Each structure stands twice: as C-alpha cells, then as structure tokens.
Chain A
C-alpha cells in the first residue's frame, strides 16, 4: 500500500537556525510532491510544490528538494523565526487520491 512517513517527533530549534524536515514515501511514482503548513485548529496552507523533474525549489526562506530515486523530499526553513512554529505536512497524489503525511511539528524558540 502507499505510505508517506514524516518524523513524528517535534523538532525544537533555536531562532535563526535551519530546520530540516523529511518526507519519505513508498509505492508512489508521483509527478509532484507538496508541502503545507498547519496551525492548530486551522486548515493546511499550501507552501510549495516540486515536480519530479525538479531537484530543488525555493520560496523566500523555504527550500524543498525531491529525490525520486531515494523516494524522499527534504523541507528546509532557513533563518527560522518563532512565527514559523507550526506543523508541516507533505502530500502526494496517487490515482486521484491525495494522501498526507502525519506531519512534523516545528517549535522555534527565541
């Protein structure tokens, strides 16, 4: 069956450092992978989409890499700020369905 795995442990990081999150998947051949941010009690907010033929994508302080051989995506928040504290989800689409990872909580302390 298709599976998406993200680190379940919260990532505690000091302000100004780089946070790196991992998303691993099995039994997918995705055309693209997405990352979302979710705050407690609110709907996920789309951040970045990276296609299978793209190795890296950037948006402001965010960077995503996509290795289809390793079946892995890395999500980086550079120069992290307390406002970046949230849960970050990766998502894949397979055969019409969308599946989300369980998410990794990031806590940025001043």
Chain B
C-alpha cells in the first residue's frame, strides 16, 4: 500500500530537549516536504527536498533542521524545541507534477 508514515503520532516534550520526527515513504517519490498546521494559519511549508542530499527552506524554517540521506526518509529535527513550535506537523511526498501523499500527522506539544 502506498503510504507516508510519520512517527510518533503524538509527542509531549519539554523546552530545549532535542527531538526527531521521522517520515518515510514507499513510493520512490523524489519530492518530500514538512508542514506545520496551526489554527487560522493553515498549512505552512517548513522544509522541502527535491531529491537525496538536496534540501531547501520553505516559508517557516526557523528552529528546524532536515536531512535527506536516503530517498525514502526525510526526518524533521528540532534541536531546541520551544513552546511556539507546538503544532500539528505533516510530512508529504510526491512525484513531479503529481498530487502529494500526506502522512497521518504528528501532534507536538512543547511545554
């Protein structure tokens, strides 16, 4: 089954404690990206990757890091989380000119 898998689904952490949200896709898609979704602000792109070892900033990259060492994986790293990073996060993948597949979402709370 074609899917994008994110882990964990829910995470509560404390300010400053490094965390990683994993994302994996099984469709051999070149393009992968991370979004955060906040009430009233919609989906905003954090980082994207057009292929292995190629990553670039989206609209809200501050406080986040990513890497793309393999085609199927695109982890999101928060080196020092802060409460303003409390949000619902989505990973997505797609091929050029095609619709995107989204993961189930990760609800992150930073206290």
Contact = CB atoms under 8 A, between A and B. Distances in A.
Given A42-B105, A45-B102, A46-B100, A96 B43 contact: no
The B interface is mostly helix, strand or loop, or mixed, namely strand
Interface residues of A, number: 24
A31 interface: yes
Given A43-B102, A49-B97, A89 B43 contact: yes
A46 B101 contact: yes
28 contacts: A31-B97, A32-B97, A34-B100, A36-B99, A41-B107, A42-B105, A43-B90, A43-B103, A44-B43, A44-B90, A44-B92, A44-B102, A46-B100, A91-B100, A96-B50, A96-B56, A97-B56, A97-B58, A98-B33, A98-B45, A98-B48, A98-B58, A99-B59, A100-B42, A100-B43, A102-B40, A102-B41, A103-B42
